Structure 1
Amino acid sequence: MIRALRAALAAASVLAGCGAPVVTGAHRDAARLADTLRALPEPTTARWDSRVRTLLTNHYDADGSGALDAPTEIVALDCDVVRTLDARVRQATTAGLDVVYGLTGSSRWTGQLLGLSEAVAAEVASRLAACGPSASPRNADDPVAQAIVALDEVGGTDDWDERIRPLLLAAYDRDGNGAIDTSVEIEGVGCAAWSALDQAVQLGSGAPLLALYGFTEGYGWVGDALGLAREARQAAFRAATDCDIPPE
């Protein structure tokens, strides 16, 4: 019995020396981890994403794969940590963790930036729901879409553009450079937001969003009025048409 116990302790010592993460320790340190997350500056930026990924994998990546990619690892996420992440994202954008990182189907999955594998998307959605932040089904209204619909300005006008641009930048300009100009940022725009933009423009001008703002080839580019950079034109067109937005 004593020999078996010593062997078990020796094995545990070897694992600890190799830096293998221990999920049970993460529960004990949940409050400390949440405090660390609250203190991280510039939420939703690339630097913030990287630091969050490191923290989450250090605490919860039980198999050492470099990502949270097992159901047991997602279940181990403490609700205090999940709520803290959601609150920090909402401080920086008009949307929550689920929308900005596509964790519940309201936009394209970018959870890998935080160390969350899409292979466990169902478990992530369940964990978000269990911990408080609500899951949003694909194409359902997200906070960005709701904000677009709530605008009084006529879609497609200069006044509307002036309201839409800061709204979209606040939600999707993750590196803070004043433009939505990367594939990751474009992927963050959910179908509900694309639909709300298109509906507003069609109601106000009678023309589809993608044609009026030049996303569709053959039309003059004015997408920068919405905060989208010309270099993201093709990516934005693909993302919008994938959401069934008419090209013209």
Structure 2
Amino acid sequence: MRTVYLNGQFVAEDAAQVSIFDRGLLFADAVYEVCSVIDGRIIDYAAHMMRLERSLAEMTIDYDCSAADWPGILATLIERNGLTEGTIYMQISRGAADRDFLFPAPGTPATVFAFTQARSLVANPMAERGMRIITRPDRRWGRRDIKTVQLLYASMMKMEARAAGVDDVWLVEGDVITEGSSQNACIITPQGHLVTRDLGHHILPGVTRLSLIDIARESGITVEERPFTIAEAQGAAEAFVTSASMFVMPVVEIDGLSVGDGRPGVETMALRKAYIDHARAQG
């Protein structure tokens, strides 16, 4: 049985309890982060915590990340659960208060918890075959740059992808791709340029995306942060997604049309290897 962290204590998962009045439960009034763990070490920790602090500030949730020993908390979870590879989930809500659309009184304690999930990240079979994607309208709220727990639409789209017999969904506004249901979307043009959507309220500023952009530029690849269309993605030389749990994952089909030769691209797989090497070197 896993050990989890809840409001300052490490407890068995079946003993962890959160109030039914918690704002995260009633209003999705909470933010979260997911960090990858390879070889028992956390990847891109500083960038994840920076984004968590930004999400808290944007949501005006009164919680000081620096007041808790997060490195120690996460290290303890890794040790107690014997986690060598997988993810750690962290969530902070505005706390528990009687149900009201107005925020609770200042000083209401935040609800804070974290838990581990063991999974294979490096040796993911999907990397060898590539993802098949369908596109669907992006009907999420307008502040997708904040990593909130408002994930119902993304969950519905993942279920729609499963019903369609494919791996996931890319969300679009008009004919322009915003991002995947839980990943940033990227393409490699026939000219060899890496294109990913520019930052703004329309997409999440992915931590893996950020690291990969640096890796690509260091290797001499031209990076363009700009919108791109479904047609441009289908006509790309390669396509892939980035996320903390998928790293760099090739996309081989979009709405039934093959990308490139319909196999994981050489450049994509090189970037995946480079990211994993980076992760292991700095974890």
TM-score with structure 2 length normalisation?
0.26
Which structure would you say has the larger Rg? 1
Q: Which has the higher helix share?
A: 1
Query: Relative contact order (C-alpha < 8 Å, sep 6+): which is higher?
Result: 2
In the superposition, the TM-score normalised over structure 1's length comes to 0.28
